[in-house]
Amino acid sequence: MNNSQWKNPGDRRARKERLFKGCAIGLTTFSLVILVVLVGHVVVAGFSYLSLDFLTSFPSRFAHKAGIKSALAGSFWLMGLVFLISVPLGIASAIYLEEYNRKGKLSRFIEINIANLAGVPSIVYGIIGLAVFVRFFHLQRSLLAGALTMSLLILPVIIIAAREAIRAVPKNIRLGAYALGATRWQTVIHHVLPAAAPGILTGVILAMSRALGETAPLIMIGALTYVAFVPAGPMDPFTALPIQIFNWASRPQAEFHEVAAAGIIVLLIFLLVLNSAAVWLRHRASKKIRW
Amino acid sequence: MIPKQSFGWKKERVIQWMLALSALLAVATTFTIIGVLGTETAVFFKHVSFWSFITGTRWEPLLDPKSFGILPLLGGTLLIVIGSGLIAVPVGLITAIYLSEYASEHFRGVVKPALEILAGIPTVVYGYFALTFVTPLLRNVLPSMQVFNALSAAIVVGIMILPMVVSLCDDALKAVPAALRQGGYALGATTFEVSQGVVVPSALSGIMASFVLALSRAFGETMAVTLAAGATPNLTWNPLESIQTMTAYIVQVSLGDTPAGGIEYQTIFAVGAVLFVVTLGMNVIAHQVMRRFREEYE
């Protein structure tokens, strides 16, 4: 130990290096630990309430009788409507920006708009939904008002993802189609879109999973917290999974917190399925297509 | 070439117009947001003076006499933004440095998906986590802490924006060309010295932009703070107390079935306008920083 008379100047630097590396590993692992703790905490709290009855019962003022039937139905309705509204619009916008007006001034302006819209807090969309869809268009507190609000919220996400997927299609494919006399639309619909489809679908799934978990905009447009029926059409009032979870979590009684945890488990399972599908699609697409 | 009078040519034109209209929806959305917030806020300011709104220290829209000073809500929001930033900025940057400069592909392959999952967890779940896990845990250590408090909310919001900081910083660090690093290593520098002396300074614009973007998320975050931070408009710097953020106030009003037209209904637009202007400003700044100060490596 003490046989060296002088300190190697490298020692201090090497120690600093080790120290930083140690801290960095610790902090990086921190996010993994948080994830495990968060999921573990929810599962431990909610597992005992999870049963088939929980999925098939309406909400109740008794914790042990409470279920998420109406919330599940509302979320499915909402997802379906959001999908029908936002996917065609999002893909159409992406096609226009990428294939029709790529370098135009209009495109540049629209692009800036989309980038900024993506950063607008979700509750602001809720305020707009309340003022425009609920009040101005008199859609009341309906599924349709919720779906339109949510569609505005996820449109930037879909457009950005679809544009990237379309941009990744090599130019040669378009040139080949044009060379055979195809029109621009024929080129897009028969060649570019099929090639970009896996990428677009991945983006769509991720956007849908965002919509599934969003709470604030739905609260703003007045999704109800107590709904003891399954909505029959898009003009019906509704509740949704995250709204129901929020309602239970905001009650003071501890048993309702456990019911909330059970609801969160269901929500997280749906999100996991959606995200796995997206990862699988991305993986498959990257393997299959070689240009 | 299709003749201009043919059906096919017309169809092409119609399709192009329809596509353009969809794309213009984004612009329409922006104008709708500005228009709605602008007109309703103007109505609000007919009843409440602008000056008392931005300098008032009491937010009591339900009491009589009513008082509409936004500072307590703004202070509550800033407490959350600062607190979450204190967690997400250092942890996020160091995690990104570790991932891009040190970690093996295998380790990246574990951490990156975990971060993506964290990013995908709905905010209401984070609120539940703050309320039922973080707060009870902290109250063991800090018994003076209130059940609803800014600290727990700030911690979970910090966790929530962490993946965004990591992913954007990682992109920025990865964009620094390898030759710059190799120059450092050739001079005998350690990985830490290369990271802090070469890579981070080169990627600084991207890193700064990621901080601003993440903090703007924290500014507009709603559900976690509504559940965990409380509903007490409280101008305080003590994170152990119950506060109310601007977003939580908006939720509170909308939960209480407010009739349209009343001054209380107008407040959500005024507060929403402040929220929109600040987050938009932060986003514009971040994008500007990224564009203008990006070092070009070719």
Contact B287, B209 (CB under 8 A): yes
pLDDT value at position A7? 54
Scanning A85-114 for CB atoms below 8 A from B yields 88-89, 92-93, 95-97, 100-101, 106-107, 109-110, 113-114
Report the length, in residues, of chain B: 298
Q: Which of B30, B102, B166 sits opposite A113 (nearest CB)?
A: B30
The pTM for the full model equals 0.91
Question: Which residues in A lie closer than 8 A to residue B88 (C-beta atoms)?
Answer: none
Q: What is the pLDDT of residues A148-165, one digit of tens each?
A: 999 999 999 999 999 999
Distance CA A73, CA B267 (A): 33
**Average pLDDT score over chain B:** 90
Mean pLDDT across A10-15? 83
Contact A231, A237 (CB under 8 A): yes
pLDDT value at position B257? 61
Q: What is the pLDDT of residues B140-199, one digit of tens each?
A: 998 888 989 999 999 999 999 999 999 999 999 999 999 999 999 999 999 999 999 999
Q: Residue B235: which pLDDT band, with cuts at 50, 70 and 90?
A: confident
Q: Residue B290: which pLDDT band, with cuts at 50, 70 and 90?
A: confident
pLDDT value at position A5? 46
> What is the nearest CA distance from B259 to chain A, expressed in angstroms?
11
Mean pLDDT across B81-86? 97
Proportion of chain A above pLDDT 90, given as a percent: 63
pLDDT value at position A3? 46
Contact A223, A240 (CB under 8 A): yes
Indicate if the pLDDT at residue A265 is higher than 90. yes
Q: What is the pLDDT of residues A29-58, one digit of tens each?
A: 988 899 999 999 999 999 998 888 888 888
* Angle in degrees, CA A150, A155, A157, rounded to 5: 110
Indicate if the pLDDT at residue A291 is higher than 60. no
Contact check, Cβ <8 Å, B32/A128: yes
- Written as six digits, the tokens of B183 are 């120059």
Superfamily of the domain at A53-288: MetI-like (1.10.3720.10)
> Does A229 or A17 have the greater pLDDT score?
A17
Domain-wise residue ranges, chain A: 9-49, 53-288
pLDDT value at position B260? 65
Give the orientation angle of helix B150-174 with respect to helix A9-46, to 10 degrees: 130
> DSSP letters of B162-211?
HHHHHHHHHHHHHTS-HHHHHHHHHTT--HHHHIIIIIHHHTHHHHHHHH
Scanning A248-267 for CB atoms below 8 A from B yields 249-250, 257, 260-261, 264, 267
Question: Which residues in B lie closer than 8 A to residue A14 (C-beta atoms)?
Answer: 190
Contact check, Cβ <8 Å, B95/A28: yes
Q: Which of A35, A214, A260 sits opposite B114 (nearest CB)?
A: A35
Indicate if the pLDDT at residue A1 is higher than 60. no
Mean pLDDT across B206-233? 93
pLDDT value at position B259? 65
Indicate if the pLDDT at residue B2 is higher than 80. no
Contact check, Cβ <8 Å, A245/B118: no
Q: What is the pLDDT of residues B5-51, one digit of tens each?
A: 666 778 889 999 999 999 999 999 999 999 999 999 999 999 888 88
ipTM of the complex as predicted: 0.91
SS3 B142: coil
Indicate if the pLDDT at residue A289 is higher than 90. no
Indicate if the pLDDT at residue A240 is higher than 60. yes
Query: Is it true that domain B70-292 has CATH number 1.10.3720.10?
Result: yes
Mean pLDDT across B272-284? 95
Least confident of A21-25, A166-170, B59-63, B263-267: B59-63
> DSSP letters of chain A?
-TT-SS--HHHHHHHHHHHHHHHHHHHHHHHHHHHHHHHHHHHHHHGGG-SHHHHHS---SSGGG---HHHHHHHHHHHHHHHHHHHHHHHHHHHIIIIISSS-HHHHHHHHHHHHHTTS-HHHHHHHHIIIIIIIS--TTBHHHHHHHHHHHHHHHHHHHHHHHHHTS-HHHHHHHHHTT--HHHHIIIIIHHHHHHHHHHHHHHHHHHHHH--HHHHHHT--S---S---STTSB---HHHHHHHHHTSS-HHHHHHHHHHHHHHHHHHHHHHHHHHHHHHHHHHH---
Gap between the terminal Cα atoms of chain A: 61
pLDDT value at position A2? 46
Gap between the terminal Cα atoms of chain B: 40
Which long-range contacts (C-beta less than 8 Å, at least 24 apart) are formed by A50-59? A50/A262, A50/A265, A50/A266, A54/A262, A54/A266, A55/A266, A58/A227, A58/A228, A58/A229, A59/A226, A59/A227, A59/A228, A59/A239, A59/A244, A59/A247
Domain-wise residue ranges, chain B: 70-292
